[in-house]
Structure 1
């Protein structure tokens, strides 16, 4: 699998984890718990970042990464926020 695709999948998964983390941690501890999840996800990319070649594709990937992660987080928080009692 290409490193670019791995990065996009990771961005999606980290975004989708926002809802379950919010549901498990609650509103008061959400930011600290989610910061740990994001840090672990970003650190896990160290191995395959060597495979990214500089160029237009890498720049577009880094521009798309936060947008994709944010959109997935918004969706996940909307779904899990509605489920939280």
Structure 2
């Protein structure tokens, strides 16, 4: 969870928040121009970010490691196994 806290902090710092809500830009440093149009699918801009933020909140509240909503193009989250002795 320590690393998840770092990632969520970074996402919060990069969010655009205004009267229309919160959102993140699609930016690809290898493309010209670098600002990309939103695309459907797993982890494509706001959809993937929002899903991970919702999962983070569920984990912080002790609600389990799975996702609340299954998406057809994403494999289910698995509970990590303890390391072998």
Normalised by the size of structure 1, how large is the TM-score? Answer: 0.33
Higher relative contact order (CA 8 A, sep 6+): 1
Normalised by the size of structure 2, how large is the TM-score? Answer: 0.33
Higher-Rg structure is: 2
